[in-house]
Amino acid sequence: MPVKTRAQNYSKNIYSQFLAIKGLSEKEKNRYGALCHQFPVMVLQNGLMQAVGYLLGKGQNDSQKPETILLNHFAEQFNCANAEAFHTVLQNSEITKYQYYTRQLLEMAVWYKRYAESVLDVQSAGEEQ
């Protein structure tokens, strides 16, 4: 079996997530795409826990909100059942594991941003409707 890079795995998994949300309304797609652009900046400015907490608060446990969908997508990448489980894993992580999750999520964020541009046609967070 051929060995694949992390980038290849991220690309494949994240692309399939984007194909799954093609049925969202235009407004929801724009919001999801804008979040893809904004999330890495939120992480760098405030830290991973605060950024995840922000999305949890905005999503209000509504599985149809773009914030919850994005968090569930992140959770899926880390083999967590859902956004709440991902949040709990982050809360209970040792510092080195927390730093690892932060680095991995920032690596993934590149793919989320690129697919927001190419699949959803959301060019930047400033163009959110």
- Sketch the domain layout of the chain as residue ranges: 25-121
CB-based contacts of 112, cutoff 8 Å, min separation 6: 14, 36, 39, 70, 73
Residues 90-122: tens digit of each pLDDT: 999 999 999 999 999 999 999 999 999 999 888
pLDDT of 32 reads 94
pLDDT of 63 reads 82
What's the CATH architecture for 25-121?
A: Orthogonal Bundle (1.10)
- Number of Cβ atoms within 10 Å of the Cβ of 35: 23
How far from chain centre, in Å, is Cα 3? 25
CB-based contacts of 97, cutoff 8 Å, min separation 6: none
Q: Which amino acid is at 76?
A: E
| HSE-CB of 75 using CA atoms within 13 angstroms | 19
Per-residue CA distances from 110 to 20, 37, 40, 106 (Å): 19, 9, 8, 7
In the chain, which stretches have pLDDT less than 50? Answer: 127-129
pLDDT of 1 reads 67
